[in-house]
Every structure is written in C-alpha cells, then in structure tokens.
Amino acid sequence: MTKTKKILRTIYFTENGKNLAEKIFTDEFDYLPEYRTSEKPIKQWVRESFECHLPVLFIGATGIAVREIAPFIQNKLTDSAVVVMDELGKYAIPILSGHYGRANRLAQILASKTNAIPVITTATDINKVYAIDEFAAANQMRIADKSRIKNVSKKFLDNTNVTLKYSSKGISFTGQRPDNIIDSTSDEPDIIITDYALGSSSLELIPKRIVLGIGCKKGKSFEELKSFVDKQCNETDLMQHICAICSIDLKAEEYGLIKLSQYYQVPFITFSSDELKKIKGDFEESEFVKETTGIGNVCERAAIAGASETGSHLIKNKVSENGMTLAMAKKDGIIIRW
C-alpha cells in the first residue's frame, strides 16, 4: 500500500520565485507542481484551485495572496489550504485552512525543504495543545458543525478536561490519547464520535467509511473521471462519506486520479498487483485487464483493499464506461489514531 503524491498549485512572479519553486519540487518531494500560466488571470486560476479543493502556494508577497484568494473564501472545512513563501525562501506562512486543510503542516514541509522559518500563528499550535480539527482531518472524520470547534479548542487552551463519548460502530483507538480527554456518559459531552449527525451541542465527528476503487486507461482526465463518478454516486453524499480513492500502483502517477482524490479531500492509495491478488471475493474478471495489470479486476479489489483495515464489504459492484471502472466498499470498523 502506497500513498501517492499530491498536486500543489503554485504561482510565482519573479525569477527568484521560479528558482525557489525549482528548489522545492524535486523528485523526493511529496507534491507535484501545477503552475499558473501567464495567460490565465490570477483570480481565475485561484477560483479553479478552490473549486477543485487543491492547495495553493504563492511565492511572493502575502498581500497579493490575500487579495487574490479573498473572493473565494467560504468555509474552513472546504477552502483550499494556502501557503505563502517569500521569493528568497526565508519564511513559509499558512494563511488559510491551517488545521482541517493541513496548511500548517504544508508550511512546515515547505520550510524543511528550503531551510525557511514556518510562521505558524494558530493558538493551539503556538501553545502546543491538541488541535481537534486537525485530529478530525487526519482521521478522515467529518465535522458536523464547525462552530463547535472553538468551544473544544478553548478547553484545550485553558488546560481543562475535554469530555468524549463515542457511539460509532466498530471503533477502536490507537496511539496516546491526550491526558485531558476523558470518557463521558453524558448525552452532550464536548466531543461525540458518531455515525450520524445528532444535532446536539457537542462537536460531532462522523467517521467516513466509503472507499472508491477506480481503474482507468492511461491519460484519463480529471473531468472525465469526475463525470464518470457523478453518474454513479450522489456528490453530496459522497463528499460526506468518502475516505479514500484506491487503485493499482501502475496508476500511482495518473494525474486525473490524483486530482480527483484531492477534489474529494481524501488520500489516493495504490496497491501492487500482488497485494490485490490476495484480496478474496467473487470479482468480475477481465482478460484484457489481467494481461495489462496482472490481475483481472482492479476496482473491486482496490476498494476492498483500501477499506479492509478492520474488515469491509462491497456496496457497489464494478461499473464501467469508456475505459474507466468503479466499485465502492464500506469499512466495517474504524481505527482512530490520536
């Protein structure tokens, strides 16, 4: 199992900025650059980035970045992560979606590549206390009401106990839980991990359980793949429940699939043919696919593989269209990492 690279939309304005970008995007970096071309207006380029939920790197002045992104800011749970670096690579500044969009983490990664100083200003980070929205993002949990985050964050900042209750099926935990998160039997604790939005006053975290397995011919675009998925799935429901897109490792650099996974704000995970062969089940096999990849079915096996950490089952069998295949699996259990 391998998590693939991601796309980082990048814009620079000077020769120094171009040189810094070239220094950042080396083979060992976990991101692929998608540069703004000079003929495309900056606001149009930013709008497209936000529509696809792609992270953005501005190499230039912070003021320019603020003015360009301002019209497109809507929701801290869906806005693109935005990081600014000066053209000499001295500072890396996350200015939007620091926690749920992981801009703080991206700034730290960029800083480590260039020996820059990451300028982190979020209260939980500078006070070295737990960031509950970052925890939710890392564990692929949907936040039912973002306005509840501040109440929990305040308790962490005040170093008071945070009460937790979980009713979601098949949940297990790993890692070291923060000392001030304590179990509760109250109907409205500070945090509830639940399979359904309850409309309570708690911060409700809903684990995402749906994995898409996708196979495709080489070179399928994001637009083609997105149109195909839209025909098979309700976009609103999928946004709320998808936790990964999976395929075979031959597709690890398939640009359309990488972009599709970032649109849904989930990891793109690939498996070797040997790993997929080990997946047991009654799958629809294709001789052509077997000759090409070594296995007769990619999408169903990949969906099961991506969801199988604590057991899974198919909820949509293979469908195909114009060189693309799709299947859907659901996790039976969830492992939450502190």
Domains observed in the chain: 2-121 (3.40.50.11220), 130-207 (3.40.1390.40), 210-332 (3.30.420.180)
Interstrand relation of 162-166 and 181-183 (parallel, antiparallel or unpaired): parallel
User: Are the beta carbons of 143 and 134 closer than 8 angstroms?
Assistant: no
Q: What are phi and psi of 224, to 5 degrees?
A: -65, -45
What's the pLDDT score for residue 1? Answer: 81
What's the pLDDT score for residue 39? Answer: 87
What's the pLDDT score for residue 162? Answer: 98
Cα–Cα distance, 275 to 291 (Å, whole number)? 17
> Which residues lie below 8 Å from residue 219, measured CB to CB, with a gap of 6+?
256
User: Are the beta carbons of 67 and 46 closer than 8 angstroms?
Assistant: no
User: Are the beta carbons of 243 and 208 closer than 8 angstroms?
Assistant: yes
First vs last Cα of the chain: how many Å apart?
21
What's the pLDDT score for residue 286? Answer: 79
Report the largest interatomic distance among the alpha carbons of the chain, rounded to a whole angstrom. 62
What's the pLDDT score for residue 282? Answer: 86
What's the pLDDT score for residue 4? Answer: 87
Cα–Cα distance, 99 to 132 (Å, whole number)? 9
Residue 34's H or E segment, with its range, is: strand 31-35
Prediction pTM value: 0.93
Length of the chain: 338
The CA-atom distances, in angstroms, between 197 and each of 13, 79, 162, 335 are 45, 22, 20, 20
Cα–Cα distance, 216 to 320 (Å, whole number)? 9
Identity (one letter) of the amino acid at 208?
A: K
Cα–Cα distance, 299 to 318 (Å, whole number)? 7
Cα–Cα distance, 169 to 31 (Å, whole number)? 35
Structure tokens at 167: 């009713």
Per-residue pLDDT of the chain (338 residues; tens, 9 = 90+): 888 899 999 999 999 999 999 999 998 899 999 999 888 999 999 999 999 999 999 999 999 999 999 999 999 999 999 999 999 999 999 999 999 999 999 999 999 999 999 999 999 999 999 999 999 999 999 999 999 999 999 999 999 999 999 988 899 999 999 999 999 999 899 999 999 999 999 999 999 999 999 999 999 999 999 999 999 999 999 999 999 999 999 999 999 999 999 999 999 999 999 999 999 888 888 787 887 788 889 999 999 999 988 899 999 999 999 999 999 999 999 999 99
Interstrand relation of 6-12 and 2-3 (parallel, antiparallel or unpaired): unpaired
